[in-house]
Structure 1
Amino acid sequence: MLVPAITIDEVSDATITHLAAYALTGDVLVVPSPSAIPELKSVLATTSAWVQFPERASVDTIVSTLDAGAVKAALVYSSSQQPTDPSSAFQQLPADRLALILPAIPTAETASLITQYKAYVSAFIVPPRALLNSDKLPQLAEAAKGVHLLVQVDTLPSLQLVTELDKLSINIVIPTHFLSFGPAENKLNIGEAFASTLKTDRPDGLFPTIVVDEQQVALGLCYSSAESISEAVRTKTGVYQSRERGLWYKGATSGATQRLLKITPDCDKDTLRFVVSQSGPGFCHLNTRTCFGADSGITALAATLESRKASAPAGSYTQRLFSDPNLLRSKIMEEAEELCEATEKDEIAWECADLIYFALTKCVAEGVTLADVEKHLDRRSRKVTRRAGNAKPKWEGVAMGGKVNGTTEAVEVVKNVAEAAAPPATVTAPAMVEVEEKKEIKMKVYNYADTTPSERTALLQRPIIKTDEILARVKPIMEEVRRNGDKGVIDLTEKFDRVKLQHTVLKAPFDPSTYAIDPTVKKAIDQAYDNLYAFHSAQLDSKPLVVETMPGVTCTRFHRPIERVGLYVPGGTAILPSTALHLGIPAQVAGCKEIVFASPPRKDGTAVPEVMYVAHKLGVGCVVLAGGAQAVAAMAYGTETVPKVDKICGPGNQYVTAAKMVAQADSSAMISIDMPAGPSELLVIADEHSNPAYVASDLLSQAEHGVDSQVVLLASNISDAHLAKIEEQVRLQGEALPRADIVRESIGKSFVLRVQGREEAMRFSNLYAPEHLILHVEDAEDLLPLVDNAGSVFVGHWSPESCGDYASGTNHTLPTYGYARMYSGVNTLTFVKHITSQMLTREGLDRLGDTVTRLAEVEGLEAHRNAVAVRLRDIRAGRE
C-alpha cells in the first residue's frame, strides 16, 4: 500500500481538499512546518493522517496534535533520547499512536533499533537506502513483525515494487509529486497502485465490493476492477465494474450519485469496502436506501426525521418539536431523567430509545447529521488526554434514588436546573475552545437516618466487577500459557505490556546488579523485614498440639510447610517491594522449600530492583518476569523455566484475581490460593475528637492505589463544621498528590455516611467488612470488642494505615470486597498445612470400639465396622 507524504507550509481550503483526496485509499503522512502545526489541528479530525514532528518537538505539542485527531505521531530518531527516558514521548504516549523514523544506517543496525524500540511504537519508517539492499528487507520485516514497517522512496517506484513490498507487509511512503489520480507520464497512478496489492481468485479477476454509508450500514454489493478503482479514485465518486456493461458510474442516469469517502481492503485483500455518501432516493434500483430492503434503527430514524423536517404534517407532534425549541428542550431533559431512574433492562432500553429520538430531533432541527456526531466520537476516540468525566457542579450528587446528599429530591433539582439553564434573550457565541475540567476531589455525603434499606444495601456494594467478561478474557490467556509454556508468557507479555522478554525468569543466586538500590531504601526494607519477621514468627506453632481425648486415645496436630509457593507482586501503577516482604516473610518463616516471585517487568524488560533485593534477602529461588493472568498461569501449570507451585498468594487487579480462581478450580492445576481479592479499600470511623488532617490523609492513602479503589468515612455525631474541615483537607491534600488524577476517580466512587453514634458506625462497618478499618475516635481501643469483620484494624490517631502497609509488622495482604466476613489476611499459617495423627492403645480401642462400630452400622459401612470389630474380638477373647 502507499502512504502519500505531503509537505504543508500553511493550511487552506486547497490543503484540506488535497489531503482528503490522497486519504481515499489509506493514511497519509503530513510533514508540516512548525508554524503549520497549530492550524493543522482543524483538519485532523476528518482525515486519516500521520503527522511527522521535528526532532525537538515537545511532548505537549505531540499530545495536542494526537488529541486533535492525528492517527499517529511520527518521531525522528535521536540517539540522545532513549525509550526508557521518563520525559520522552515513548514513555508518556501509547505505542499504537507512535511511529519512529529511522536514520540511514546499515541494515543490521536498523534491525537492532527496531528491536530496541518495538515495545514503544507501532510503526517504523526506514530511509530509501533500505531499497538499495532489497535482499535485506525480509530481515527488517522479520524484526518488525507485529508492527508496521514502511520504506520511504526518493525515486519513482514501479508497480512491481509496490506489489513485492506489499507481500512482505511493507508499505511505501511516497512524496505526492510522484503521484497522480489518472494517467500521467512519470507518475504513479494511485488507483492502479492500490489495485496492484489486491488479490482475487475469481476467473474474471474482479473484487467483491461492499458499499456502505457513513454509518457503515451496508447499501449493497458491487464488483470492482483495477480500472474501476482507478476511475473511482480519479472522480472521487462511486464507480464500479458491471459484469455486463463495463464501467458503472453509480447514479449517472438515476441521479442517485455517490461521493466517495474511503476505500479499504479487508484483511485478506480480496474484498473491498467503499464508504460513500449516498444522494438521491437510495442505492437500490427499487428506490430503497439499501438493496436489502427498508433501513432500520438509528439511521432509519434520522432519515425519517430529515423527511419530516421538510414536510411534517401540520399539527403533528414532530412538527411541534421542530417549531417549539422549549418543548424539545423539556422533552430531552425529561427523557434523560427517566433514563437515569430506569432500573430494569427493558425499561432502560425503552427510555434510551426515547432520549435518542428527541436528541436526534434536536440534531436534525439544527442541521446536524449522524455523520457529524460520529466525527466527534471518532475524534474523541483518538484523544490521548482524557477528561476526568465528572459531572458539572449543577448535576453533582444527583443519585441515590433521587436524592442529593441524601436529602434533596432530584426532581426539584432537575426543575431548578432547567429554569437556571434557560437561554437568555441574547446569547454571544463562545469561542470554540474545549476546556478540560478537573473533577473536584470530594466525597459524596449521605445521612444514614435518611436512607432507605435498599439505599443502605447499595452503599455496601463495591464498584461492580463484570466477572463473566473478565473470566472470558482470562481463560484463553491461561490456556495459551498452559499449551505454549515460556513462549506463551513471552508473547502475552509483549502483547499486553509491550515488553519483549529475552527470558522468562531470573534464577538465584541473583546478579548483585539486579538488586542495586539506594542505601536509604535498603535500610528501610531491612527494618520493615525485622518487624514483619518478629510478628510472623510468633504466629507459628512452637510445638505439636497433643490432646488425650479419653484414656488410651491420643490425638495430635502438627504443621508442615507447603513445599512450593508462588507469590504475585503487582507492578501496574506502583512499585511494591512492600508486597514482596509481606508475602515472602511468612513463607520464609513457615519454612517453604521453594519460593517463586512473579512481578511485571519494567519497560526495558528488567525486574524492579527493590523487589529483587527482597527476593535476594528472602532466598527466593526464581523471579518470573511477568504480570497478569499469564504470570498466574505460569506458576499454576509450570513452564520450561517456571516451577509449578502448590499455592499462589498475593494481590492484583481483577484479571489476576480471576486467574487465581480459574487455576484453583482446575483440578489439573492442583493448586490453592490465599483468597479472592479486589481493589484496595478503607473505612474510617471518626468522631468530633478526630484530627481532620489525619482523617483525610488516611482516606487518601488508599484512594491513590487505583481508580477502582474505594474509601468510606463513617462520621459519628460529627458537626457540619468538623466534617467541612475533613472535606477541605481531603481536597487540599488530594490536589497536592502526584497521583491526584487517580485520587479524583477513586474519591468519586467513595462516600461519607453520617451516623448517630459509635454502635451504629460499628454495625455498618461489620456489614461492609472493610479491608482496612481505622478508628479515629476517642478511646478507640474500647471499640475493638465490637469488630467482627475487618482485614486489619488501626487503633487511634497515631496508627496510620500506612504503617501496616509497610513496616509495623502486621500483614498488608488482606481480604477486600467484603471477603473479610470469611477470610483472614495472609499470615504465617497461610503457608503451612496442619496434619493430624491419632494413636490408640489396646485399652483405648477397647473403650472406644463399641462407639465406632455402632456408628458404622448406622451409616451402613460394614468394612469400617469390621476394621474395629476384628480387633475388638482379639482384645476381648481372653475375657470370655
Structure 2
Amino acid sequence: MSTPPFLPLIDPSGSTLLPSLALLGPVLIPADLVQAVLSTLPSQASYYVQAEETNQDLISFLDNGAYKIVITPSQLEQLDGQVPKERLIVKLTEDQLEKSSKQISEQVSGLYIISSSVHTEKSLGLSNIDIYLQHPSPKPLEILESIKSSRPSSYVIPTEFLAASSKTTSTHLSITEAFLSPIITDRPDGLYPTIVSSSNHSIKPLGLVYSSKESITEAILTQKGIYQSRKHGLWRKGESSGSIQDLISIKLDCDSDSLIFEVVQYGTGFCHLPLQKTCFGNFNGLSKLEDTLNSRLQSAPEGSYTKRLFTDENLLKSKIMEEAEELCEANSKDEIAFEAADLFYFALTKCISKGVSLKDVEKALDKKSLKITRRRGDAKPKWEAKINGDTTEPIKPESKPTEPVPKSFPEKDDTARIKMRNVTLSNLNKEEQKKLLLRPVLNSLAMIDKVKPIVERVRKEGDEGLKAMTKQFDKADLKSNVLLPPFTTPSEEELPLDVKKAIDVAYENVKTFHSAQAEKEALVVETMPGVQCSRFVRPISRVGIYVPGGTAILPSTAIMLGVPAQVAGCKTIVLATPPRKDGSISPEVLYVAKLTGVTCILKAGGAQAVGAMAYGTNEVPKVDKIFGPGNQWVTAAKMLVQNDTDALVAIDMPAGPSEVLVIADHTANPIFVASDLLSQAEHGTDSQVVLVGINLSENLLQDIEDQIDIQAKALPRVEIAREAIKKSVIVLVKTQDEAIEFSNEYAPEHLILHLEDAPKAVEKIDNAGSVFVGAFSPESCGDYASGTNHTLPTNGFARQFSGVNTLSFQKHITSQLVSSEGLKVLGPSVVRLAEREGLEAHANAVRVRLAELNK
C-alpha cells in the first residue's frame, strides 16, 4: 500500500508552512490543535488527527472531516469495530510492535511507530498496510537519507523540523526534497510527465506538460502552476499571458514517475489555441453547463429566462421542485435521463447564483462519505404525507429564533451542560502552555481567490458591475449605489425617540474621547543650534468606513468609525453598507452618517464595496484607507486590495474572530463573570473565550460554571454560544502576577478585570486591545457607548497594533529648517556620512552650500 514520503505533524510553529504542506498530501494534526489548524487549512486539504490519551469522542473527528485517526491500542479496543479499518492508524512503541503488530494490523490500515530504526512492510512481515515512522530525536539530513532508502514507509516529521526551502540543512528538512525523494524518470531529459487538472472542472484534464525537480520545487514554494518547457526552460504559467494558475495539490502516481497538478486556472484558459479551454478541447456535460451559467450570471441580458432565474428566487425554487417531481414520476431510461438533466440545470443555476461550484458540491459529497455516524434518513413528514396522498398540512414545529444560527451543528441533547474545560497552568509544560495561546491562524488565500473575480469586476466595469452585483447579492435593484448629502433625518416612526437619544449619548461620548486624542500643536525640536525639526499631523484625505448591514442594524460600528474620521478632519468619508431589498439603508445608520459628517453613502456590501472604495468608480470616490469589520469576504477583499500597488490603499488592521479574556479573583461575582464570557461567545462559533481564575475556591469556580450553563441556555443564540464555549478554556493560576503574565502573552482583544484592586492591575497590562476595569465595566459599554473604540486588534495582534483611534485617520509629516549657521555646524558630518556610503551627489548638495557660505 502506497504512503506519502513524509507525513507532517503540525505543531504551533507550523502555521506558515501549511499552504505548501497542504499541496503535498495529508497533514497530521494533534487533537487539541484541530480547531486552530482547520480554520487555516485550505478547504480541499486532507488531514489525519492524532488522538490523545483522554476520553475524546474519536468518531466525531472522523465525522467532521478527518480522513484517518491515529489512536492507541486501548482506544482501538474501545472502538470495537465501529470504524472501518481503512480510517484507523494505531500508534505503537517498539515493545508493543514486537508483541502485537500482526494481530493489530488486521484491524487497521496503518501502524505509527516511534522508533529510531527503519521499518518497512517487508521487515515487519506484514503486507497491505501503511507504515509511519517517527524518530524520537530527528536529524533532518539523516531523515532525508532514510526516506530515500525506507520506502514504502513514510516518516512522521514535526513541523518544527521542516522548512519551505529547496535544500535540507542540519536543522531543517526541506519539504520539497522530502516530497521529491521517491520520484523517478526513464526519460533522457530527466523530466516527469505532468497532467494538469482544473480544480473547478474535474471531468477533463487541462493538458499534459512536463516538470523538473526545479520547477516542482518552485511550484511548491510559491503555490503556483510552474512547469518545465522542453524548449524554453522554466515555464511560469501565465507570466506573460496573465492566465496564471494557483496550485491546489500535487500528487505522484503509483509508480512515482508522473504527477498530477490540480490548479485553479485564471484568464482565458490553459490551451494556447484561441477559444479552447483545454488542450483536449472544451468542456462538456456538467462542466460546460457550469461555465455557461457562470457566463450568464455576469452577462445575461435583462428579461432573458436565465436572468429571471438568477434574480427571481421564487421562480427558481418552483422550477427545482417541479423538475424534482417530474424526475420522481419518470419511468423509462430516456425519460429519467431527460428529467434528471432538467433538474441538474436548475439545481446548478441555484448553486451558481450563490457562488457554489461543482467542485464545492463534490467536496460536500466527499465530506459526507467520511461520516461514520449516520442518521436514519427517513423522509420529512410533509413529503411522506404527499406521497401517501394525505393533503392535510403537517404540524409545523415551533418557529426558530430569527437570529441566524449555523445549520451545521451535530445533533445533541439540548439539556447537556454547557461547560468550559479547565486547566491548571502550573501542571502544564512549556509546549502545552504555548498551545493555550493559540487561535485559528489567519490564512485567507482560499478566500482571496474567491473575492478576486468580484473585486476585478468592479475595477473593470465600475458602477454597472457594482449595480449588477448589488442586485445579485443584496437583491436590491438600484439606479445608483451612491447616496449624497444632505441626508434626510429619519422620522420618529422609523427611528423611535429613545433609540435616537441612545445614539446621541454614544455619539457624544465617543466624540469627546476621540477629540481629546487629536494633536493640537506641531512638535518642534531644535536638535542643535540652527537645526529645527518638527512633526505635524494631517488628516488622511479620503477614507472608507465599512458598516455591516442589510438585515442587521449596526449604528455602533458607524459611530466608532465615523466619529474619529470626523474628528481627524478627513475631507471625504465614504460609508459603505449593504442596502435592504427596497434599496434603503437602516435609519439608525443613516442618522449616524448625518451626525458624523459622512460625505458619501455607498449602498453596497461585501467584496464589491471594498473594491469600489479601493479603486473608485465614476460615482464612488476612491479612498486612501479602508476601515471596518466584516465577514470573511470583506476581510479577504481588504487584504487583497492593500497588497495591490494599483489600488494604493491601506487598511486598518488584520482581522480575526472576536475574543475576550477575563481575569477573576476571589472577589468576582459569578453572575457577572459568566455574562461577560457569554457576551463574547454569542458572536460566533469561532469566538475566543478565556477565563483566568486566580486561586479560585471550588465553590466559586462551580458557581461560575453553573452560571455559564444557566445563562447560555436562556440565550436565543444558545447553539452558537454552546459551540464557542466548547472550545473555550478556564486557566487556573495561583497569583495575580501569573494571571497578568498569561494575559500579556495572550494579548486579548478585550480584557476584563474582576479583581479586588482592578485599577492598580492596569499598570501591569502591556498587551490588550481594550481593558474593562472592575465589576461594573462590561465589554458591552465599550462596544456601544462609553467612549472608547470597539474596532480592536484580534488574534494576538494587540502586541503590535492599537485599536482604531483618531490617529488612525491621520498621518504625521516631518519637516526640518536648517539655517546657514546650522548648516555650517551640521554640514561636515553629513558630507562625511554621504562619502562613506558612496553617494557623492548627496555630499555635493551640502558642499556647494558650504562653499557659498565660506566666500
Query: For the superposition of Structure 1 and Structure 2, which TM-score range results when normalised by the shorter chain?
Result: 0.5 to 0.7
Q: In 2, distance between residues paired with 1:694 and 1:835?
A: 46
Instruction: Report the counterpart of residue 346 of structure 1 in structure 2.
Output: none
- Give the aligned residue type for 2:341: T
Q: In 2, distance between residues paired with 1:753 and 1:489?
A: 48
Q: CA deviation at 1:649?
A: 0.9
Q: Is the 8 A contact 2:309 2:315 kept in 1?
A: no
Q: In 1, distance between residues paired with 2:785 and 2:316?
A: 55
State how 1:150-299 maps to structure 2 within 5 Å.
232=333, 263-264=340-341
Q: CA deviation at 1:261?
A: 12
1:352-404 alpha-carbon deviations (Å, 9 max, x no partner): 99x98xx99xx9xxxxxxxxx79949999x9999898778xxxxxxxxxxxxx
Q: In 2, distance between residues paired with 1:151 and 1:587?
A: 44
Q: In 2, distance between residues paired with 1:856 and 1:700?
A: 60
The reply on whether 1:468 has 2:445 as its aligned counterpart is: yes
**Which one of 672, 675, 680 corresponds to residue 697 of structure 1?**
675
**Which one of 499, 504, 522 corresponds to residue 521 of structure 1?**
499
- Give the aligned residue type for 2:333: A
1:651-698 alpha-carbon deviations (Å, 9 max, x no partner): 222222221121111110011111111121111000111111111111
1:428-474 alpha-carbon deviations (Å, 9 max, x no partner): xxxxxx87646643222222122233322222122355422112112
Q: CA deviation at 1:141?
A: 7.3
CA shift in 2, pair 1:578/1:861, >3 Å: same
Q: Where in structure 2 are there 5+ consecutive unaligned residues?
A: 1-301, 347-364, 384-396
Q: TM-score, normalised by structure 1?
A: 0.54
Q: In 1, distance between residues paired with 2:327 and 2:576?
A: 56
Q: In 2, distance between residues paired with 1:709 and 1:374?
A: 29
Instruction: Report the counterpart of residue 287 of structure 1 in structure 2.
Output: none
Q: CA deviation at 1:750?
A: 1.7
Instruction: Report the counterpart of residue 429 of structure 2 in structure 1.
Output: 452
Q: Is the 8 A contact 2:688 2:728 kept in 1?
A: yes
CA shift in 2, pair 1:778/1:268, >3 Å: closer
Instruction: Report the counterpart of residue 674 of structure 1 in structure 2.
Output: 652
- Give the aligned residue type for 1:595: I
Q: In 2, distance between residues paired with 1:174 and 1:767?
A: 58
Instruction: Report the counterpart of residue 540 of structure 2 in structure 1.
Output: 562
The reply on whether 1:586 has 2:663 as its aligned counterpart is: no
Instruction: Report the counterpart of residue 455 of structure 2 in structure 1.
Output: 478
1:593-627 alpha-carbon deviations (Å, 9 max, x no partner): 11111112234432111111000111211211222
Give 3-state SS (helix, strand or coil) of 1:809's partner.
coil
Q: Is the 8 A contact 2:690 2:728 kept in 1?
A: yes
Instruction: Report the counterpart of residue 490 of structure 1 in structure 2.
Output: 467
Q: Where in structure 1 are there 5+ consecutive unaligned residues?
A: 1-136, 153-168, 182-189, 192-229, 237-259, 270-298, 300-348, 364-372, 392-433
Q: Is the 8 A contact 1:388 1:437 kept in 2?
A: no
Q: Is the 8 A contact 2:475 2:581 kept in 1?
A: yes
Q: In 2, distance between residues paired with 1:812 and 1:683?
A: 15
CA shift in 2, pair 1:150/1:779, >3 Å: closer
Instruction: Report the counterpart of residue 82 of structure 1 in structure 2.
Output: none
**Which one of 809, 834, 841 corresponds to residue 831 of structure 1?**
809
Q: Is the 8 A contact 1:150 1:173 kept in 2?
A: no
Q: CA deviation at 1:494?
A: 3.8
- Give the aligned residue type for 1:724: Q
Q: In 2, distance between residues paired with 1:828 and 1:232?
A: 70
Instruction: Report the counterpart of residue 647 of structure 1 in structure 2.
Output: 625
- Give the aligned residue type for 1:451: L
Q: CA deviation at 1:773?
A: 0.6
- Give the aligned residue type for 1:617: L
Instruction: Report the counterpart of residue 634 of structure 1 in structure 2.
Output: 612
**Which one of 770, 775, 780 corresponds to residue 797 of structure 1?**
775
Instruction: Report the counterpart of residue 683 of structure 1 in structure 2.
Output: 661
* Larger deviation, residues 601-610 vs 752-761: 601-610
1:47-99 alpha-carbon deviations (Å, 9 max, x no partner): xxxxxxxxxxxxxxxxxxxxxxxxxxxxxxxxxxxxxxxxxxxxxxxxxxxxx
1:149-182 alpha-carbon deviations (Å, 9 max, x no partner): 8799xxxxxxxxxxxxxxxx98996999xx999x
State how 1:274-673 maps to structure 2 within 5 Å.
376=377, 437=414, 440-513=417-490, 516-571=494-549, 574-673=552-651
Structure with more relative contact order (C-alpha pairs < 8 Å, separation 6 or more): 2
Q: In 2, distance between residues paired with 1:438 and 1:499?
A: 41
Q: Is the 8 A contact 1:482 1:633 kept in 2?
A: yes
Q: In 1, distance between residues paired with 2:749 and 2:446?
A: 25
CA shift in 2, pair 1:872/1:613, >3 Å: same
Q: Is the 8 A contact 1:573 1:706 kept in 2?
A: no
The reply on whether 1:742 has 2:720 as its aligned counterpart is: yes
Q: CA deviation at 1:843?
A: 0.4
The reply on whether 1:708 has 2:686 as its aligned counterpart is: yes
Q: In 2, distance between residues paired with 1:576 and 1:173?
A: 40
The reply on whether 1:853 has 2:831 as its aligned counterpart is: yes
**Which one of 787, 793, 798 corresponds to residue 815 of structure 1?**
793
Q: CA deviation at 1:739?
A: 2.6
Q: In 2, distance between residues paired with 1:695 and 1:769?
A: 19
Q: Is the 8 A contact 2:323 2:339 kept in 1?
A: no
Give 3-state SS (helix, strand or coil) of 2:673's partner.
helix
Give 3-state SS (helix, strand or coil) of 2:811's partner.
strand
Q: Is the 8 A contact 2:420 2:728 kept in 1?
A: yes
Q: In 1, distance between residues paired with 2:667 and 2:793?
A: 29
**Which one of 869, 873, 876 corresponds to residue 847 of structure 2?**
869
Q: In 2, distance between residues paired with 1:501 and 1:745?
A: 39
Q: Is the 8 A contact 1:664 1:670 kept in 2?
A: yes
CA shift in 2, pair 1:847/1:266, >3 Å: same
Instruction: Report the counterpart of residue 819 of structure 2 in structure 1.
Output: 841
Q: In 1, distance between residues paired with 2:324 and 2:520?
A: 79
Q: Is the 8 A contact 1:815 1:825 kept in 2?
A: yes
Percent of pairs with identical residues: 52
**Which one of 729, 752, 761 corresponds to residue 751 of structure 1?**
729
Q: CA deviation at 1:812?
A: 1.0
- Give the aligned residue type for 1:705: H
- Give the aligned residue type for 2:468: D
Give 3-state SS (helix, strand or coil) of 2:829's partner.
helix
1:718-756 alpha-carbon deviations (Å, 9 max, x no partner): 112101111111222222223323222222222211112
Give 3-state SS (helix, strand or coil) of 1:264's partner.
helix
CA shift in 2, pair 1:858/1:477, >3 Å: same
Q: In 2, distance between residues paired with 1:538 and 1:609?
A: 29
Q: Is the 8 A contact 2:551 2:580 kept in 1?
A: no
Q: Is the 8 A contact 2:750 2:769 kept in 1?
A: yes
- Give the aligned residue type for 2:618: E
Q: Is the 8 A contact 1:439 1:744 kept in 2?
A: no
- Give the aligned residue type for 1:232: K
Q: In 2, distance between residues paired with 1:764 and 1:555?
A: 41
CA shift in 2, pair 1:636/1:171, >3 Å: closer
State how 1:49-64 maps to structure 2 within 5 Å.
none
Instruction: Report the counterpart of residue 156 of structure 1 in structure 2.
Output: none
CA shift in 2, pair 1:603/1:437, >3 Å: farther
CA shift in 2, pair 1:770/1:671, >3 Å: same
Q: CA deviation at 1:872?
A: 0.6
Q: Is the 8 A contact 1:440 1:744 kept in 2?
A: no
Instruction: Report the counterpart of residue 751 of structure 2 in structure 1.
Output: 773
Give 3-state SS (helix, strand or coil) of 1:445's partner.
strand
Q: CA RMSD in A?
A: 3.9
Q: TM-score, normalised by structure 2?
A: 0.55
